[in-house]
Amino acid sequence: MPVVTYISHDGAINEIEVASGTSVMQGAVDNMIDGIVAECGGSCSCATCHCYIDEAWLDKVPPASEMEKDMLECVLEPEDNSRLSCQITVTDELDGLVVKLPASQF
Amino acid sequence: MTEACCIVVGASHAGGQLAVSLRQQGWEGRILIIGDEPFLPYNRPPLSKTFLSGEKHIEDLLIRPEAQYEKVGIEFLLGQRVKSIDRNNKTVTLNKGETFAYDKLALTTGARVRPLAIAGSELKGVLYLRDISDVEHIRQFIGKGKKAVIVGGGYIGLETAAMLRKLGLQVTVLEAAERILNRVTAPQVSEFYTRVHREEGVQLETGVEIQGFVGQDRVEGVQCGDGTVYPADLVIIGIGVIPNTELAQAAGLEVENGIKVNEFCQTSDPDITAAGDCTNHFNGFYQRNLRLESVQNAMEQARVAAATLCDKPIEYNALPWFWSDQYDIKLQIAGLSSGYDELVIRGDQNGSRKFSAFYLSKGRVIAVDAINNPQDFMFGKQIITRKLLVDKAGLSDPEISLKDFLKK
């Protein structure tokens, strides 16, 4: 099973096995990782699952939709590597993915 | 000493989150969730959308898989209903007679559909949409070319209409009020959704008085006050919900259009908290009591209630928000529009499928309906919570970024 590493804002590292086909957000929620809120349950409606993709993985993650891009411009402290984790589906190709979580989702 | 036990009544979105939050906040005792549906807590919003269409299955709806609850020692008793709460002895009793002792209790009992009790409402094919079994039932009646009549032009009715059109049914929406979404949006937003649904081939009628459902064994039509009969292979009724407060009321807790809770989600009994659709709570932003039907409120209150139960109180203070997906349109609503005295439209409401409606009260934005306009939603939320006085001409001009308002 692919492994995703979640690095919390305080530096805590969680290496989690996330089944292919599951979103990066769901992997965090399933494992009760604090930094992801995911109020809308993954329908790209709330931007409370914001994460930063580790630079090494940027070109391997499929690009964001227009809707997601629009939402990302409004999150707290957006960066070029900002994504909504509900919109990233884990695949075998993403085994080893590293994401960093923001200080706050609100 | 035996370990402390927290019982959560209702395996709902709020119930599941509350249990998880209890663990996150350091509750070390037993956690038992009792739910009357046979399922682990699941996401309800997809029910009227991707679950109805068959794209998503039950396991996709679950908020967390079973193993994750096991891992942190959250126990479930599913398919069981709590009959009564004995606050003196601190026990709950199930319908089947079994009794469990609690130290702390959390009520996350949610809401149920408001039934329409008129002639023919017992006919086969007269259906509601609130839980998994409702949708499984609806699925037995749908198919390409079938005629569906939706009673009620609220969000549930309209989302269902959109999905049934996508599945190739002939869809009629009947609304009693003079316009759809009457209770929740401005007339301009109602007009927009009326146009969209008609463009998508839905027959939409307002000001309709429904007298009854006709048919032998199965429903065949909807009989209206003006004599019209709308033919139907199935009818879906979406006229709102009723909070499940009977258990709390019978236990002597304060109930008034929901279980009354304070800003810490405590009921009138300090050992009992409540969260989600079943609560009536004070909202500091709008300075009035509210009962909200939303995922956000369920999750927020669940966290607050869990913190209270762990003696680490945090105050509930959230701006309500909602969303609705219909066809290719994502509506995001921030705040509550009730009581607005002015409306500012940003964008083209008549020709396009992208605009926003800002609701103002005394010059300040109190709510926004953002249609395919996530930035207006996100920045709108901030404009509302920061209580900014806004320049209306600027607000109505989509060329001016709302970000500029926030810099001031």
Token couple for A101: 């979580």
Task: Say which residues have a Cβ less than 8 Å from residue B288's Cβ, sequence separation at least 6.
Answer: B282
State the Cα–Cα distance between residues B134 and B153, nearest whole angstrom: 19
Q: What is the sign of the dihedral through the CA atoms of B173, B179, B184 and B185?
A: positive
A70 with B64: Cβ contact below 8 A:
no
A41 with B374: Cβ contact below 8 A:
no
**Per-residue pLDDT at B405:** 85
B235: nearest Cα among B125, B351, B122: B125
Domain B5-112+242-309 classified CATH 3.50.50.60? yes
Summarised one tens digit per residue, pLDDT across range A13-48 is 999 999 998 999 999 988 888 889 888 888 888 999
Q: What is the dihedral of CA B290, B291, B295, B297, to 10 degrees?
A: 40
**Per-residue pLDDT at B215:** 97
**Per-residue pLDDT at B408:** 62
**Per-residue pLDDT at B210:** 97
**Per-residue pLDDT at B139:** 96
Q: What is the dihedral of CA A94, B43, B12, B255, to 10 degrees?
A: 130
Assess whether the region B126-237 and the region B328-407 belong to the same CATH fold.
no
Closest-approach residue (CA) in chain B for A29: B64
Q: Which of A29, A37, A71 sits opposite B64 (nearest CB)?
A: A29
Identify residue B13 by its one-letter amino acid code. H
B114: nearest Cα among B164, B171, B154, B173: B154
B323 with A43: Cβ contact below 8 A:
yes
Place of tokens 């970000």: B403
State the Cα–Cα distance between residues B46 and B55, nearest whole angstrom: 10
Contact residues, chain B, for A44 at CB < 8 Å: 330
**Per-residue pLDDT at B22:** 96
Fold exhibited by the domain B328-407? Enolase-like; domain 1 (3.30.390)
- Please give chain B's pLDDT, 408 residues, in tens: 468 999 999 999 999 999 999 998 999 999 999 999 999 999 999 999 999 999 999 999 999 989 989 999 999 999 999 999 999 999 999 999 999 999 999 999 999 999 999 999 999 999 999 999 999 999 999 999 999 999 999 999 999 999 999 999 999 999 999 999 999 999 999 999 999 999 999 999 999 999 999 999 999 999 999 999 999 999 999 999 999 999 999 999 999 999 999 999 999 999 999 999 999 999 988 999 999 999 999 999 999 999 999 999 999 988 999 999 999 999 999 999 999 999 999 999 999 999 999 999 999 999 999 999 999 999 999 999 999 988 999 999 999 988 888 876
B132: part of which helix (H) or strand (E)?
helix B132-139
**Per-residue pLDDT at A41:** 81
Distance between alpha carbon B144 and the CA centroid of its chain, in Å? 28
Q: In chain B, where are the structural domains located? A: 5-112+242-309, 126-237, 328-407
**Per-residue pLDDT at A42:** 85
State the Cα–Cα distance between residues B268 and B204, nearest whole angstrom: 45
CB count, 10 Å around CB of A20? 13
B299: part of which helix (H) or strand (E)?
helix B295-309
Instruction: Give the closest-approach CA distance of A77 to chain B in angstroms.
Output: 13
**Per-residue pLDDT at B403:** 85
User: Helix, strand or coil for residue B313?
Assistant: coil
* Cβ–Cβ < 8 Å for B75, B32: yes
Dihedral class, residue B214 (left if φ above 0, else alpha if ψ from -120 to 50, else beta): beta
The CATH class of the B126-237 domain is alpha beta
Q: In B26-60, which positions are buried (b, 16+ CB within 10 angstroms) versus exposed (e)?
A: ebeebbbbbbbbebbbbbbbbbbbbbbbeeeeeeb
A45 with B20: Cβ contact below 8 A:
no
ipTM for the predicted complex comes to: 0.84
The CATH class of the A3-100 domain is alpha beta
Q: Which residues of B touch A (CB under 8 A)?
A: 20, 23-24, 43, 45-46, 63-65, 68, 72, 295-296, 299, 321, 323, 325, 330, 332, 372-375, 378-379
B23 with A32: Cβ contact below 8 A:
yes
Dihedral class, residue A77 (left if φ above 0, else alpha if ψ from -120 to 50, else beta): left
